[in-house]
Amino acid sequence: EAGVAQSPRYKIIEKRQSVAFWCNPISGHATLYWYQQILGQGPKLLIQFQNNGVVDDSQLPKDRFSAERLKGVDSTLKIQPAKLEDSAVYLCASSLGTTGETQYFGPGTRLLVL
């Protein structure tokens, strides 16, 4: 079974530029998560989708971050404009459902904002 796929794996941009990350979850997984992992910290949930609806985006900086999951499968996370403090690894995860289900993580996208 294929795992969670993410691209790109690495991205370097300058501040105030925009960037987008892509995630393809495990087939059949209804729930998709985006986490931000700053160096030396644990991952923090940015947004969670159940199919193509948002169930939690309480920690998403909505003035600069946006995410969508069209058709309830793939998802994109966008940052516009980027700030230095956005340098982090962006992890995508998926699970079958939302109640006690194991989350499976992709390899992450490492973003460096200069």
Partner 1 sequence: GDSVTQMEGPVTLSEEAFLTINCTYTATGYPSLFWYVQYPGEGLQLLLKATKADDKGSNKGFEATYRKETTSFHLEKGSVQVSDSAVYFCALSLSGGYNKLIFGAGTRLAVHP
Contact between 23 and partner 1 per CB under 8 A: no
Cα 68 to Cα 50: distance, rounded to the nearest angstrom: 11
Stretch that binds partner 1, among 11-19, 27-35, 65-73, 77-85 (CB under 8 A): 27-35
Cα–Cα dist 106/80, whole Å: 23
Q: What is the DSSP string of 7-20?
A: E-SEEEE-TT--EE
> What is the size of the binding site for partner 1 (CB under 8 A)?
30
In this chain, which stretch among 14-22, 29-37, 65-73, 80-88 interacts with partner 1, using CB under 8 A? 29-37
* Footprint on this chain of partner 1 (rule: CB under 8 A): 3-4, 31, 33, 35, 40-45, 48, 50, 55-56, 91, 93, 95, 97-108
